[in-house]
Chains A and B, each alone.
Chain A
Amino acid sequence: MSTGKSLEAPAQQQPQPSGSPKAGGRFKRLLTTENLMLAPAITVLASITIFPFLYLIYASLMDFALAMDDPTFAGLRNWVRLFKDPAIAQSWKVTLIYAVVGLGLEVIIGVGVALLLYATPWGRNIFVTLWMLPIFVAPVVAGLLGWFMLNSSYGLYAWVLQLVGINTDIFGNVATALPAVILIDVWEWTPLITLIVLSGLQSLPSEPLEAAEVDGASYWQKLRYVILPLSARIIVVAMLIRSMDIMRFIDTIFITTAGGPADSTKIIGLRLFEVAFRFMDIGYAAAIGLSMLFVTILLGQAFVKVMYGR
């Protein structure tokens, strides 16, 4: 759990030998090697992110249809609509369920597997290697795979389900579509939680565990009073990363259900996609995008705080 230490290091660093520029005006003092090395990155990053961000704010204040010639000023109309639109509320609800149920399962299974790997007598390396493979799968391929496995007429998993009497079009049924896309997310990303937690477990200080052992603690007591409390921070890091990713990606659901049936899997990112590219209502899409960005920024702020440890 060596987090953030390296970030603090530069601040405590001793003064640098050639760091003092010769006298020669403010501008010259700005031309340090560091600034010259940093400038291209910051310039490019700013122009491809800050400019679009400002453009997004502008668009959210306009009546802006893709088909229209000139956008007209709309004031806060898009924003008011955002808070009144039941479709948006529905999408946030789906997003929340997707995040809470998916992340909940990922944390439970992911931490469980990490503890098993931590305790396994042999083969940890091989198990870890195999377990991490889904992480490399492109989300859109994960969606294709989930669809292929659960396809009612010839999917391998659907075949197993039919053997036990479950016979339904899984992605076409309101009751099963959301669980199915959540399970695809769980399949792909539970290993990431495991990897993060396992690397925390492997760097646990040995003293508290040894002390617990001397006191005759059982495995469950050690888990409850030593291992889990010491791993809490890293589990939070993993959850924040995953939450931001859940806001970030739409690929898996886009390919499997495209948000259907009856909007039961339409997470907020997909709703934005539909508003922008099917209804061509760019102004409204921009407002939705900014509201998503706002949530990501809150999560990012929490993440930076946890990372710096204060």
Chain B
Amino acid sequence: MAKDKLTTRKIVTRVLILTALTIAMVWALLPIVWMVLSSLKTEAGMFSMPPKFIFKPTFSTYAFMFDEGNFGQFLNNSLIAAGSSTVVALLLGTFGGYALARGNYRGKKHIAFWIISTRMTPIAAAIVPLYLIFANFHLIGSTFGLVVAYTTFNLPFALWMMMTFFAELPPDMEHAAMVDGATKFQAFYRIALPQVAPGLVATGILCLMFAWNDFAFASVFTGHDTQTIPVAASLLVSQTGIAWGQAMATGTVIILPMVIAGLAVRKYLVRGLSMGAVK
């Protein structure tokens, strides 16, 4: 009897847990699903009440954006700006991160603090001086300025992440290589670097994501020709009339690659988003 009762209780608990989780999933996913569905509807079909979940999808909104609008150009701008800052951050961050991990630098706590507060600087506060400096050098509206702006948060991030990845490697193999005559740089390049490759890729994807998802910097620093897709998305709803169909399609294009890339490195996601505090 007693055993039966316990089992019933267990089943009830399981059902409750799964129900609660299902509700949470619906809350998390419904807006995303609704956005993707809406982007596949005709502008008239989007607003039918009650809302339709089953309908004949059309790619006409996407076709229109690429054929009639400058959407391809905006996509290109986003890729160049996010990509360049990622390459710069990874390159400098990997060398620097290795040096920080292996070198005997005093005051690591202070370096940590400087790097983290740089990474976490409020965007609004960073925009003001960067705007003045860019204005002096005629960089407002240029992709170069935007890349510099993105590097202000991606470089400290990459430096910090790569330091934590290198610091986790036992240095023995590098020492052995150096005893065998390799220079310190060769030990880094041939022994340490290949071992942190997954971490390097994850860091790169997160840098790409931070820059790709930015709106505030791009809205101030880009001009008509250099506008990124988040800015294009915002203009769709702030100009006369709201083109919700295009806005939803643009939103889908913005998040889809990041979902795929992000899930590919999900093992490192928490580590990246917590600045290495949680592994």
Interfacial residues, chain A to chain B (CB-CB below 8 A): 1-4, 6-7, 9-11, 13-14, 16-19, 32-35, 37-38, 40-42, 44-45, 48-49, 51-53, 55-56, 59, 109, 113, 116-117, 119-121, 123, 127, 129-141, 144-149, 153-154, 156, 159, 187, 191-192, 195-196, 199-200, 234, 237-238, 241, 244-245, 247-251, 254-255, 268-270, 272-273, 276-277, 282, 285-286, 288-290, 292-293, 296-297, 299-301, 303-304, 306-308
Contact = CB atoms under 8 A, between A and B. Distances in A.
A17 B127 contact: no
A34 B121 contact: no
B220 to A, nearest CB: 7
A154 B41 CA distance: 14
The dominant DSSP class at the B interface is helix
Interface of B: 14, 17-18, 20-21, 24-25, 27-32, 34-35, 38, 46-47, 49-51, 88, 92-93, 95-104, 108-109, 112-113, 115-118, 120-133, 148, 151-152, 155-156, 159, 164, 167-168, 171, 175, 178-179, 183-185, 188, 209, 212-216, 219-220, 230, 233-234, 237, 244, 247-248, 251, 254-255, 258-259, 262-263, 266, 269-270, 273-279
Contacts of B209: 136
A247 B123 CA distance: 8
B17 A119 contact: yes
Contact of A141 (B14, B92, B185, B233): B233
B247 A148 contact: yes
11 contacts: A52-B130, A130-B29, A133-B28, A144-B237, A145-B251, A154-B46, A192-B273, A195-B270, A196-B270, A241-B273, A276-B128
Given A59-B129, A129-B263, A154-B47, A300 B92 contact: no
Given A41-B97, A136-B258, A144-B234, 5 more contacts: A132-B266, A138-B230, A138-B254, A237-B274, A248-B122
A38 B100 contact: yes
A38 B99 contact: yes
Nearest to A137: B255
B148 A138 contact: no
Given A144-B247, A195-B269, A290 B234 contact: no
A35 B99 contact: yes
A126 to B, nearest CB: 9
